[in-house]
Every structure is written in structure tokens, then in C-alpha cells.
Amino acid sequence: MRFKFPLIFFLMLMTTVIIHSANGQDIQVEEQISISSDPPEKVVINNIYVIGNQKTRKNIILRELNIFKDIQYGWDELIETILTDEKKIFNLQLFNTVEITPLITGEEQIDLLIKVDERRYFIPSVIFELADRNFAEWWTNQNRSFRRVNYGGRFYHNNVGGRNEKLRVVTQFGFTQAFDLLYRFPYIDRNQKHGLSFQVRFQTNKNIAVKSENNRQVFFANEAENVLRRNIQSAISYSYRGSFYNFHFVTLGYNNFRVHEDVLIENPNYFLHGDNVLRNFSASYNYRHDRRNYNSYPTSGALLDLELTRYGLFSFDDFQDWEFSATANRYMEFSNRLHIATGLSVNTFFGQRQPFTSVRGIGYRPYFIRGYEFNVIDGQQTLVHKNSLRFKFLDLNYDISNLVPLQGFTTFPLRLYLSGNFDHGYVNDRNNIPENRRLTNTYLFGYGPGLDLVIFYDIVFRLEYSLNNAGEGGFFFNFNAPF
């Protein structure tokens, strides 16, 4: 612990850097535009051609462009816009690579050639995953039990009709038995601004968390191995995208939770109202401003996400409350290899107490602090500030077309980052529950180095060594980007 205070001082100083937006680079997006002759100062675009889109409709690609035919552009302005538009098209997550090339056809006249390499949209996959909050929870708190594993199958089609529609069907068994159906239309109008999505989910559990004690989840399964919880959820969501980076969502939902009587014996306040069934309608509004260069592992740009939810729309609803959450992330590249990421997340319930099924706090995604992976810190208000300084020391892109003879799986990108991390936050528990007082209503922080591996189609692995302000530390392995 000799280096504890200097390291904290350095990392806290890192978080105070004023971040400004910067253009980033990605291995998937071609950013080198070569012109055989000196370019003109101003140009007019005559034609825009798209090649490589065997499935995707052309208008889905053109929707992301901020440049148009028959309009004059300064050359430098055009090139800057092309680089930005390449990233927007790539973030549709429909293509392996995106390249936009200006072709000079005459004096101050050009055509644009958009070349894309489509991903494989039809993706059946096998489910074999941990049911717990993170790998450390499963490995240590739950003794690496394979009874706490979910298995089954997923079917994804990420471009059903060539219009970027998303279809997801999940059939899952094991620790959590579930069926999930989602269909999303990004655009239902000619101007491509309005969208709809529908989702229904059914799940059952024979082993559930019924409460938290000593800032750890307490799980329960009765001797008869009965199903302890059934949950039916359905939702319909309307989306509006008026500009390139701003999204609005309005969602109406219905939740029906039913638990076994034994659950109420273990925790009489599981649903607060004394019944073993909790039903409620909900409505939410979500605003999202997204200018990240790469959605799965950003290195430049910004994300702002605001959401206000009303639980209980009618007098007969069993749960009535308001919830507000906000996330503000910034990413800045100092060079092609070095960037900083910082993110602030806030969540608050307006009411004094919530059913256990609606509990929030640190330890539940997306609210975490490195070094507290073993813990859950429950409360009504949560504030978390996460920070990473990352250095990319490996950046490779393999051609695997000879090994994998499948269209859409021709390249294997691989990047490896060394990170220095510092997170801090606070959970306010208005009820001041005695068995969880050690970590609630107190300032928390964690820090340490890490390795981030980013591979093949948005897959992220993280290996980190973290220490927290309680002097506890260890190695932690995670399967997704921190933020």
C-alpha cells in the first residue's frame, strides 16, 4: 500500500482534464484518401455510387451521409465530412469495412464511391454464459458452480429486409429459463426518422436473490426446488431520429412478477405490499446523443443518455414511483495510440423504498466501481464516475478468408490496450439498512491497471487488477467494455 496515495493523486488529476472532441481512427474504417492529382479548392458532387451492399438497401446507407449531390463543397470540408460519415455508416454495425472515395470527373466535378463489406447478418449462436453479475461474483461468491450457468440458443438477424431491422429470438435454459422475442424497425417512414420496436420476454428462476446483507447478494432456493419467480414483460417503443446524432425513444411497458410464498418468508418486503404478485404498467422517455467513433469500444467522441421512467400508470398498479438516470461519457484521443475515457452516471428514485426487483445501486450494470466486483451497494441514489487512460500497443488485422470460407467473416481485427483506471462514487440509502451500512452512504473508490482485448465483431475482454479504499484487491476478468 506504499504507493496508494501517489497513484490516487495521479489518477484523480487525470480525471480533471478538460476534454474536447477529436477525430479518431478505427481499423475498420479506411481513413486514408489518396488523390492522384492536386485536388480543386471547391467541388460539386454529381453522383453517389454504393457497391458491396448485397443485402442492405442503398437508402439505409445514404441516410448517414451529411453530403449531397449538386451542392458545392470546399475540398477540406468535404474530406472532413467523408471521414465522419464513414464512422456513422460503420456504426450501423452492418459492415466489416466502410470506405468513401471521391473520384474527380472534371473541373470542380466529382463522384463519390461508397464501398462496403457486409457482415454476416444471420447469426445463430449457442448460449453458455454465467447467470451472475460478473465473473468475480461467480468465481468467488458462488464457488464457481456450474448450476449457475445459462445455456440454450440465440437467433439474430440484424438486417432482415435490408433496412437494418433487428430480429432476436432467445430460448434459454439452466439457471434462468427464458424466452425472448424482439423485433425492431429503425424506420417506418419514407424520410427515415420514425421507428418502432416490440419485445416480449418470459422467464422463470428456481434460485433467486431475495435480499442483500453485508453488501452481498443473498440467494435462496427451497428444498422442493420449486420455481420461485415468474416474470412476464412486454414493451412497445417509438423512436424518432431527427438528426444524425440525436435519438428520442418513448416506451410503454407491462411487468408481471409472481413469486413463491417461500420468498416472502425469506424477505417479507420483497414486493413491499405483502402480496406474492406485483403488476404494473410503465412509461419512459429516453434521449440519446451519440457521437462515438466506435460504439463497442470508443476512443473519441461523446455519449449523453437521459431517461425518465414512471412506474405505475393507473391506480391499480402495485408499484408507483419515478426514476431518473443519466450517463455522460467523453472520449479523447491524444494520438493514434493514446486516449482517455471518462464517464459520469447518475440514478435516482423519487420514492423512499422500492420492491427488491427494482433495486439499484453500485454492482448492478452499468453502475460499478473497480475493486468492488464482489459487492452490491443498494440505495435510492447512485453516483459513479469512471475513468480510464488507455494505450494501444497492438493493432492487427488478419485476412482469414482462406480459413473461414463464409461471406462476412473475411477479416479478424485485434487490438490490445494497456489501461490505468480510477473509479469513484457514492450510494445514498435513505433507509440506512443496518446490515449494509459498511458501504452505503460513504465515498468509495477503486483503481488499478488493466488489459483490454478487442477482437472480431465488437467482442471485448478485460483483465484488471484493482484495489479499493477498503484495502481489498484482486484480479478481475470481464467480458464487456467498461463504458
Q: What is the CATH number of the domain that holds 64?
A: 3.10.20.310
Residue with cell 471485448: 460
pTM recorded for the entire structure: 0.81
Residue 24 lies in a domain: no
Residue 9 lies in a domain: no
Q: Tell me, yes or no, whether 347 and 224 share the same domain.
A: yes
Residue 19 lies in a domain: no
Q: Tell me, yes or no, whether 66 and 92 share the same domain.
A: yes
Distance CA 242, CA 445 (A): 39
> In one letter, which amino acid is 239?
S
Residue 1 lies in a domain: no
Q: Tell me, yes or no, whether 151 and 71 share the same domain.
A: no
Q: Tell me, yes or no, whether 234 and 104 share the same domain.
A: no
Q: Tell me, yes or no, whether 90 and 189 share the same domain.
A: no
Last residue within a domain, chosen from 117, 132, 154: 117
Q: Tell me, yes or no, whether 255 and 392 share the same domain.
A: yes
- List the domain range (segments joined by +) for residue 443: 122-478
Q: Tell me, yes or no, whether 54 and 160 share the same domain.
A: no
Contacts with 53 (C-beta within 8 Å, 6 or more apart), sequence order = 61, 116, 118
Cell of 455: 477482437
Q: Tell me, yes or no, whether 126 and 76 share the same domain.
A: no
Residue by residue, pLDDT tens for the chain (483 residues) are 333 333 333 333 333 332 333 333 333 444 444 444 577 889 999 999 999 999 999 999 999 999 999 899 999 999 999 999 999 999 998 998 899 999 988 888 999 999 999 988 777 777 777 777 777 777 777 777 777 777 788 888 888 889 999 999 998 887 788 899 999 999 999 899 999 999 999 999 888 899 999 999 898 888 878 889 999 999 999 999 988 999 999 999 999 999 999 999 999 989 988 899 999 999 999 999 999 988 888 999 999 999 999 999 999 999 999 999 999 999 999 999 999 999 999 999 999 889 988 888 998 888 989 999 889 999 999 999 999 999 999 998 877 777 766 665 667 788 999 999 999 999 999 888 888 989 999 999 999 999 999 987 578 889 999 999 988 888 888 877 778
Residue 189 lies in a domain: yes
Could you tell me whether strands 381-399 and 411-428 are parallel, antiparallel, or unpaired per DSSP bridges? Answer: antiparallel
Q: Tell me, yes or no, whether 81 and 195 share the same domain.
A: no
Q: Tell me, yes or no, whether 72 and 199 share the same domain.
A: no
Residue 13 lies in a domain: no
Last residue within a domain, chosen from 67, 90, 117: 117
Q: Tell me, yes or no, whether 418 and 281 share the same domain.
A: yes
Q: String of b and e for 368-407 (b: at least 16 CB within 10 Å)?
A: bbbbbbbbbbbbbbbbbbbbbbbebeeeeeeeeeeeeeee
Residue 23 lies in a domain: no
**In total, how many domains does the chain have?**
2
Whether the CA torsion 459, 464, 469, 471 is positive or negative: it is positive
Last residue within a domain, chosen from 117, 148, 181: 117
Residue 7 lies in a domain: no
Q: Tell me, yes or no, whether 156 and 273 share the same domain.
A: yes
